[in-house]
């Protein structure tokens, strides 16, 4: 049976202009699950997801309530959202499986991902979390709260936090066991809970958010899956995106993709980590990664849609 890691995009959970309510997330994930269940027939699959907006919202809530309850560190907020979103995704999947009378189970596994405590990301935060702000709001939050805030790909301003490189998945053997039994497994949610290994062999959480595409790529390599799928808001990757001469890409070698990255076609706050993660998977496995939209996932798995990153 073929295997895949499928990283679902943020719009699958909450659109950029939607209210961050439970009802919105449930409705979006119902749609997401219907596309996924249709695409996953006959495949062993791991589903990963982001958590940036949800972590950001928790940080806002905790800041507002800090006089009554102490705010939680980022690793606990990562765990909080990983469990919450895992529950919602699994419930949506199970409901779609029942509707289609498909005899299959799904499960969510809270996952820790190892990072290096000396990773330079801790001195240079870059990972956007939370809502978008205007320039005026961003300046005020930076001044009042000491947040590091950056402009995000022309969409507004967001808080940025450390985003270290993922090195290992603590629960990888459990993930392997689940998918080998045919369980649709939701894991490495939000890039996983960032932890470091201490000299005595123990682990502890750190204040960071791991990019979910990088963590998903690492997991895809560890599991040695047949294909790595990254779902985003567009059917294909573009060069000169948003400009009159924009062009969709169908099949790109890792060398070509690397060159386009160097030329600045893929911003760090949007498509950059996806291309980087795709290249890492293809280079390590000599297999393919496809980047496409949720609506085109079935066609992409058949090779009929999306942008494929392929070996040289």
176 is catalytic: no
2 is catalytic: no
Catalytic residue among 77, 127, 189, 236: 127
CA separation for the pair 38, 256 (Å, rounded): 32
Catalytic residue among 212, 236, 296, 306: 212
Catalytic residue among 56, 190, 274, 296: 274
Distance of CA 121 to the CA centre of its chain: 18
CA separation for the pair 172, 111 (Å, rounded): 8
11 is catalytic: yes
172 is catalytic: no
17 is catalytic: no
Cα→Cα distances 246→162, 236, 243, 290, Å: 32, 11, 5, 19
Catalytic residue among 10, 191, 192, 269: 10
191: nearest Cα among 172, 164, 173: 164
Residues in CB range of 44: below 8 A, 6 or more apart: 1, 2, 3, 4, 179, 180, 182, 225
In 3-state terms, what secondary structure has residue 97? helix
In 3-state terms, what secondary structure has residue 204? strand
> Any idea which residues carry the catalytic annotation?
10-11, 127, 212, 274
């Amino acid at each position: 049976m073929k295997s895949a890691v499928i990283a679902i995009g943020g719009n699958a959970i909450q659109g950029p202009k939607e209210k961050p309510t439970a009802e919105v997330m449930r409705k979006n994930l119902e749609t997401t699950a219907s596309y996924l269940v249709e695409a996953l027939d006959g495949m062993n699959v791991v589903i990963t997801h982001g958590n940036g907006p949800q972590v950001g919202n928790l940080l806002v809530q905790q800041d507002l309530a800090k006089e009554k309850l102490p705010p939680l560190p980022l690793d606990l907020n990562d765990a909080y959202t990983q469990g919450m979103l895992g529950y919602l995704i699994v419930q949506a999947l199970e409901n779609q499986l029942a509707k289609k009378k498909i005899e299959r189970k799904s499960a969510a596994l809270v996952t820790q991902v190892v990072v290096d405590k000396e990773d330079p990301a801790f001195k240079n935060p870059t990972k956007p979390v939370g809502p978008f702000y205007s320039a005026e709001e961003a300046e005020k939050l930076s001044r009042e709260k000491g947040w590091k805030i950056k402009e995000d790909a022309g969409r507004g301003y967001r808080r940025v936090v450390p985003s270290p490189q993922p090195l290992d998945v603590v629960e990888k053997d459990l993930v392997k066991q689940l998918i080998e039994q045919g369980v649709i497994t939701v894991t490495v949610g939000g890039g996983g809970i960032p932890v470091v290994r201490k000299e005595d062999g123990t682990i502890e959480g750190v204040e960071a958010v791991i990019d979910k595409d990088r963590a998903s790529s690492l997991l895809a390599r560890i599991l040695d899956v047949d294909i790595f799928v990254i779902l985003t808001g567009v059917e294909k990757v573009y060069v000169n995106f948003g400009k009159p001469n924009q062009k969709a890409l169908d099949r790109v070698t890792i060398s070509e993709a690397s060159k386009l990255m160097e030329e600045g076609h893929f911003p760090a706050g949007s498509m950059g980590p996806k291309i980087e993660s795709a290249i890492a998977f293809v280079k390590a496995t000599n297999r393919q990664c496809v980047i496409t939209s949720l609506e085109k996932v079935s066609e992409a798995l058949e090779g009929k849609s999306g942008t494929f990153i392929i070996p040289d």
